[in-house]
Amino acid sequence: MGISKKVKIKLENYPENLNILVVVCFTLCIASNVSAQVSSSNITSGSQLQRREQLDSDVGLALEWSINRESNIITLQVEIQPGTGNFALGLTSKGNIEGADVIYFEVNDGNDSPTLVSDMYGVDNSTIIQDARQDWQLISSSSSEDRLLIQIQRNLDTCDDQDMKITESLIQVVWDYGENSTLPSNFEVKGIRRIYFTDTRVYSNSNVQDLQQGRISRRFLIPPRHTTYWCSIHKLNPTLITKHHIVGFSGYFRDEESQKHVHHQLMYRCSAPPGIDPALIFEPFLNHPGEECYLKDVTQLPATLCREFVSTWTIGAPPVVLPDTMGIPIGGSPNEYFMFESHYDNPEMRSDLEVENGMNFEYTPHLRRDEGSLIFTGYGIVGIFAIPPESPSFDIVGHCSSKCITEMVPLGAEVHGVALHAHPTARRMRVKQIRGNEEMPWIQNDDNYDYSYQPMRMLPEPVTLLPGDHLTIRCNYDNTGRNNSVTSSGFSTRDEMCTAFLLINKKLPYLFCSSEYPTEKLMSKFGIQNMTWEVERNERIVTSAVNPSHEGLTMGEVVGNWSSWTPDERDEWQRELMYGTHNANCANVRLFGSIAYNILQLQEATGGLISVPILEEANPTRQSMSTPIPSIPVNYPIDATTFVPPNVCQNPNLESSTSGNPINTGTGGLGIPNIPGVPSTGINTLLTNPKESLTRRSYLAPQILSIFLNGKKLLNFTIMKVHLDCSYLVLVVFILVKNSAKVFTQSTSNALVSQFQRREILDSNIGLALEWSVNRDSNIITLQVEIQHGIPNFALGLTRKGNIEGADVMYFELDPENGNTTPIVSESLIQVVWDYGENSTLPSNFEVRGMKRIYFTDTNVYSNSNLQDLQQGRISRRLRIPPRHTSYWCSIHKLNVSLSTKHHIVGVSEFLITLNL
């Protein structure tokens, strides 16, 4: 049969030594300049809309919408009162008309139905003009005596620079209307609403049985200083003797003045050490006015025993309704106590500012499947970082390490919601999940973060958290325009944080999972020997420094004076904060608090004769410069592959299999191989890509790509484009030409072959084999077909069950006249069949000569061929199978070789012999 070679088809009539290596690529490419119409089959009826927002009650303006994540389409229904006249909506990042994506509705005076829906664009802060492309499509409209309904649709990303891309980031919606408006030439903002359009998972307690309500609140005279964190001990009113589940919570404020001066508030559960009545510890503090929560030298409240999150409210947050399967436990004891923490802002430092605030709870005696928790993660709140002055883009990270997650959720958990938390200079925030060496899709991301709007965002689908996972909170800041001052981490809203609250479906005795850059290293870098917190100023004050002139300055002032902060110095410091080793913290707060409390009692009983260092770590004091619990080292997972969200507006950055250079982009954005030795002017394409409107099920006819070498046509091959949801599934067979040294060398070809990840022998009679690799970043499979010389036309079929009916067939035909090959391939790969030979009736009929079942994406294949001292053993038995349909048979064995020392099994296989007795 001849010798098998890594050359697939020999072209007898082509120049000497000219051979062809066939590499089949399946490429998901993206249409870059196609305006897609949405077919009527995708119209979402009003009853299927997922979320509603009331915008303007004066004219009954409201939005309802749904998102189809499979087709990447948003359906938006606008509701408004008849008689309002023409109106417009603007999708913006910061509420400004300049750069806004505007939808203008022109209403017919006769029937209040829109006669025109226009896609427009804001050129300055009031002027709007017609968009060059009309991407919003009018689906339906109807009117009644009390309302006008208009339904429109478009792609989430229209690939139009004048449209707002709808992602998981915040969009600020503005509107204009009325007979006196100057629409459509000018847009006067009459209102603004902040919306996360992709947060369509909304829960309701309207059908919860026996729903009850409770509240914990306090009246408080805010001290005349910029920032106050105040804690006090409370009981829920009413007391719950039996266990209930909290199914919703929200902030309570007596009036707008109270809400204006509260930045965030947290409710913690208090737990007494085992064997101690909670009333003995906490009851005396019910009438206590409370105290500063952090950074105080004298502590009265038993705060170390109150560190399990029950609820949270952050600035701008609407009420939280928990998933239908989750509840946070509450009640079950007549003596259940809570600690209430509030962050108060008093920028005018008024002494007469009395507020009343708290938390409202909704709970039910009908217990749900899962008991949930809130976990604080990110950069440690007492830990220190410093952002150099006038930094337009500076990143900070905090980690929840893999060791911590393994300890906290040894059986795994689900993340159902995320509340991102930072202060005014934060611009972007992201919760990253790393599993092994792979970064998963982001749990949460906001590239348009607004610190004054921090809702608990329910995820579209829960995200699984497994033992060994690693979480990183990444925050980006812009502190330009702040009087050339350093932005430090801290408690004040003038400082910064980088944190997130995770809502998970496990009840955990943990408060936080965080990390921070070692304080001693930061102090050493900037010549600080000691510093302390000044509570009244809420600043870190340097008390000892290498440069005595720095003593008495704030830490921020010392960092700002350290240098002129050149771009290189700024980048070096950012890399150190991000990639330097952090200290990770994830203490079991119930256990830690009990230990600290018992030691405190022992110290008090002995009159201070016994002093244990853990007491100094139980609560942050004015001397605390890092989170006061034990820590473990953690680093940014730089070796993990980076997650890149799909970009529907450009082709993936494919690389040539031969040279490593990017694939050239031909007409229509399709990839053409960059073949070494072939001048770019020698590659000609006959493809055309007219801008036309396509439906979601449009197909373009196959088109021919020609490759020329030295003015002579070498090859034609076919490219089939299929249009799906404004995307092209481009099925391409790249023909790589090898012609001695004129094109590329044999060593280059060998390098290509060595990159394949897996190999399967299909038919040894003709040397038919497959090798392939899968690039998951670009969603490309590269398939190499090997066959002996002398075999004429042949075909491979990709099937589900091995049947030719419905099979996706790759037919390889050598035509000596023009070397034309025409593949038709698909991504549905399960069972491979083949046909070949001079006597076959290809290409009209396919006779299956063999079949091989393959999981093409299983490319991790290991080999023991290079293992030292590899040994083999066997366990087997001879069995006469009973005369029944099914038998499960067990027996006890010893390995047929005795191993006196411990070994590792590195491979297993079956041993089968059938005896007909």
Q: Which pLDDT value is given to residue 903?
A: 87
Each residue of 372-429: pLDDT tens digit?
Answer: 999 999 999 889 999 999 999 999 999 999 999 999 999 999 999 999 999 999 999 9
472 pLDDT above the threshold of 60: yes
Each residue of 900-912: pLDDT tens digit?
Answer: 888 888 888 876 6
Phi-psi region of 305 (alpha: psi -120 to 50; beta: other; left: phi over 0): alpha
First to last CA, the chain: 39
Lowest mean pLDDT among 125-134, 225-234, 678-687: 678-687
How many other CB atoms sit within 10 Å of the CB of residue 138? 14
Q: Which pLDDT value is given to residue 665?
A: 30
615 pLDDT above the threshold of 90: no
Beta strands in 422-469 (DSSP E): 426-435, 438-439, 444-446, 457-465
Q: Which pLDDT value is given to residue 3?
A: 37
Handedness of CA 829, 833, 837, 842 (dihedral sign): negative
What would the two tokens of residue 874 be? 């066997």
Residue pair 554/533 in contact by the 8 Å Cβ criterion? no
Q: Which pLDDT value is given to residue 506?
A: 93
Lowest mean pLDDT among 591-605, 772-786, 844-858: 591-605
Name the band, by pLDDT with cuts 50, 70 and 90, for residue 23.
Answer: very low
pLDDT, average across residues 770-797: 79
Q: Which residue has the higher pLDDT, 393 or 849?
A: 393
Q: Which residue has the higher pLDDT, 344 or 179?
A: 344
Residue pair 143/24 in contact by the 8 Å Cβ criterion? no
Q: Which pLDDT value is given to residue 804?
A: 83
d(CA 811, CA 821): 8
852 pLDDT above the threshold of 50: yes
In terms of Cα–Cα distance, which of 162, 166, 189, 167 is closest to 177? Answer: 189
Our CA angle for 208, 210, 214, nearest 5°, is 100
Give the percent of the chain with pLDDT over 90: 50
Q: Which pLDDT value is given to residue 502?
A: 97
547 pLDDT above the threshold of 90: yes
Name the band, by pLDDT with cuts 50, 70 and 90, for residue 813.
Answer: low
What would the two tokens of residue 182 be? 């100057």
730 pLDDT above the threshold of 80: no
Name the band, by pLDDT with cuts 50, 70 and 90, for residue 535.
Answer: confident
**pTM (2 d.p.):** 0.66
Cβ-based neighbours of 34, under 8 Å, separated by 6 or more: 159, 691, 692, 694, 723, 726
The one-letter amino acid at 517: Y
Give the percent of the chain with pLDDT over 70: 75
Lowest mean pLDDT among 300-314, 602-616, 678-692: 678-692
Name the band, by pLDDT with cuts 50, 70 and 90, for residue 724.
Answer: very low
d(CA 843, CA 834): 12
**Concatenated DSSP letters of 240-276:** -SSEEEEEEEEEEESSHHHHHTEEEEEEEEE-PPTTS
Task: Judge if the upstream peptide bond of residue 630 is cis by omega within 30 degrees of 0.
Answer: no
d(CA 310, CA 573): 37
The one-letter amino acid at 288: H
CA atoms within 13 A on the CB side of 629: 22
Q: Which pLDDT value is given to residue 630?
A: 60
707 pLDDT above the threshold of 70: no
Q: Which residue has the higher pLDDT, 864 or 674?
A: 864
pLDDT, average across residues 636-656: 72
Output the CA–CA distances (angstroms, integers) from residue 322 to 18, 66, 203, 374, 408, in the order listed. 67, 20, 7, 12, 21
Q: Which pLDDT value is given to residue 109?
A: 62
d(CA 857, CA 803): 21
How many other CB atoms sit within 10 Å of the CB of residue 430? 21
Each residue of 250-286: pLDDT tens digit?
Answer: 999 999 999 999 999 999 999 888 888 899 999 999 9
Lowest mean pLDDT among 39-43, 203-207, 538-542: 39-43
What are the beta bridge partners of residue 354?
Answer: 221
42 pLDDT above the threshold of 50: no
d(CA 521, CA 714): 65
Lowest mean pLDDT among 555-559, 573-577, 643-647: 643-647
Cβ-in-10-Å burial (0-12, 13-18, 19+) of 754 comes to exposed
> Of how many residues is the chain composed?
917
Q: Which pLDDT value is given to residue 851?
A: 85
68 pLDDT above the threshold of 70: yes
Q: What is the mean pLDDT of the chain?
A: 78
Name the band, by pLDDT with cuts 50, 70 and 90, for residue 321.
Answer: very high
Our CA angle for 171, 263, 422, nearest 5°, is 55
What would the two tokens of residue 590 be? 């119930």
Cβ-based neighbours of 169, under 8 Å, separated by 6 or more: 196, 445, 446, 447, 448
Q: Which pLDDT value is given to residue 587?
A: 74
d(CA 705, CA 728): 17
Lowest mean pLDDT among 676-680, 738-742, 813-817: 738-742
In Å, how far from its chain's centre is CA 780? 22
867 pLDDT above the threshold of 60: yes
Q: Which pLDDT value is given to residue 227?
A: 94
Lowest mean pLDDT among 100-114, 370-384, 474-488, 621-635: 621-635
Each residue of 827-848: pLDDT tens digit?
Answer: 445 688 888 777 777 777 888 8
Q: Which pLDDT value is given to residue 111?
A: 61
What would the two tokens of residue 91 be? 């999708």
d(CA 101, CA 67): 18
The one-letter amino acid at 232: S
d(CA 717, CA 824): 11
Q: Say what the alpha-carbon torsion angle 658, 664, 669, 673 is, to the nearest 10 degrees.
A: -30
Cβ-based neighbours of 672, under 8 Å, separated by 6 or more: 663, 664, 665, 666, 683, 685, 705
Buried b (16+ CB within 10 A) or exposed e, 381-407: bbbbbbbbbbbeebbbbbbbbbbbbeb
Backbone φ and ψ for 560, nearest 5 degrees, come out as -65, -35
Lowest mean pLDDT among 129-138, 363-372, 391-400, 439-448: 129-138
Q: Which of 287-296, 392-401, 600-609, 862-871 has the highest mean pLDDT?
A: 392-401
Name the band, by pLDDT with cuts 50, 70 and 90, for residue 30.
Answer: very low
Q: Which residue has the higher pLDDT, 135 or 847?
A: 135
Cβ-based neighbours of 838, under 8 Å, separated by 6 or more: 792
658 pLDDT above the threshold of 50: no
Residue pair 670/652 in contact by the 8 Å Cβ criterion? no
Backbone φ and ψ for 523, nearest 5 degrees, come out as -65, -40
Output the CA–CA distances (angstroms, integers) from residue 587 to 404, 471, 516, 699, in the order listed. 9, 16, 14, 58
Q: Which residue has the higher pLDDT, 663 or 876?
A: 876
